[in-house]
Copies of this chain bind each other. A is one copy, B any other.
Amino acid sequence: MNYSKILNQIELELKEFPNNGKVASYIPELSKVDPEKFGIHLYCISGSNHSFGNSTERFSIQSISKVFGLTLAMQLLGDSLWKRMDVEPSGNAYNSLFQLERENGIPRNPFINSGALVISDILISEYENPKDEILKFVRRISGKPTIDFDEKVAQSEKQHGHRNTALANLMKSFGNIKNEINQVLDVYFYQCSLAMSCEELAKAFMLYANEGTLLESNEQLLQPIKVQRINALMQTCGFYDEAGEFAFRVGLPGKSGVGGGIVAVHPEKYSAAVWSPKLNQKGNSLLGMEALERLTTKTGLSIF
């Protein structure tokens, strides 16, 4: 498969593509990004790398970081994690309170905001310094020790985090948040503020394409069964209420963030990361989804 040629075609085609998406503006820091940024990085299990555009520029990965939090929590708690949340698509918006209220404060899955807040709560209970552990893990799997939180983004989230504060308090009223609300929100907002490039994301997500083993060092960090389950969760729940659409059009497990990033994983083949800040109405990168759909269509390969 000539991935470089395919990426070139996609780059050319999407130059003409009418992108009427909108940059996320719910926090001021995110709205400052240049809306025309566009980059992709593809990392093959053979070790080859392919990219175009702004693929080495860091951006706010936002909800993509929920995969890292989930991975740490699965390592820490094993199956008892699933007493605190479920593994089902929600069928509702990512920040909806409705279902949480009816289901006694148990989030539908780890990738909606409520689920990720419970993950933050778990990391606080289990780690002395949860934010450090998150950083350590991400730096390790991506091989980039300079990856860091974006302090400004984290602070901006805090100032506009009323909806997340509502979610955390609702779960606390049901006993599904154990630590102080402010502490939970702090870890959650810092985790979301991680700044990474497409290249770094593709490297990090190779862990999930390579059955839990770091490709470069051949070190096994995660059991294959856990990786399969994380991939399954990305497939069914990774795109808010557009998970079906992504499975339907792209056909790969993946995770998006409101910063305009999307990662996707083809197990035993490659990991890919794309970035374009303009979002469609469901909050996923418009050009990002388009690019990944063309990638799986042109290669003729999806997991299905």
Contacts and interface: CB of A to CB of B under 8 A. Distances in A.
Interface of A: 86-92, 96-99, 101-102, 108-109, 162-163, 165-167, 169-170, 172-173, 181, 224-225, 227-229, 231-233, 235-237, 241-245, 247-248, 251, 253, 267, 297, 300, 302-304
Q: What's the number of copies of this chain in the assembled complex?
A: 4
A244 B236 contact: yes
22 contacts: A86-B244, A87-B248, A88-B89, A89-B243, A89-B244, A91-B92, A91-B108, A98-B102, A162-B170, A162-B181, A165-B166, A166-B167, A169-B169, A225-B297, A229-B251, A232-B248, A233-B244, A235-B236, A235-B304, A236-B248, A237-B244, A303-B304
Given A253-B304, A304-B303, A244 B162 contact: no
A167 to B, nearest CB: 7
Q: Lowest 6 A-B CB distances belong to which pairs?
A: A91-B91, A89-B89, A231-B304, A88-B244, A166-B169, A162-B173
A64 B304 CA distance: 18
A172 to B, nearest CB: 4
Given A87-B245, A89-B236, A236-B243, 12 more contacts: A88-B242, A88-B245, A96-B101, A97-B97, A109-B244, A162-B169, A166-B167, A232-B247, A232-B251, A235-B304, A236-B236, A253-B304
A169 B168 CA distance: 10
A251 B235 CA distance: 10
A253 B233 CA distance: 13
Contacts of A302: 228, 232
A39 to B, nearest CB: 26
Given A224-B300, A304-B228, A88 B253 contact: no
A78 to B, nearest CB: 14
A230 to B, nearest CB: 8
A247 to B, nearest CB: 4
Q: Which of A241, A251, A300 has the largest number of chain B CB atoms within 10 A?
A: A251
A102 B235 CA distance: 26
Contacts of A304: 227-229, 231-232, 235, 253, 267, 303
Contact of A99 (B91, B251, B267, B297): B91
B98 A101 contact: yes
A235 B251 CA distance: 10
B231 A236 contact: no
A211 to B, nearest CB: 9
A172 B162 contact: yes
Contacts of A225: 297
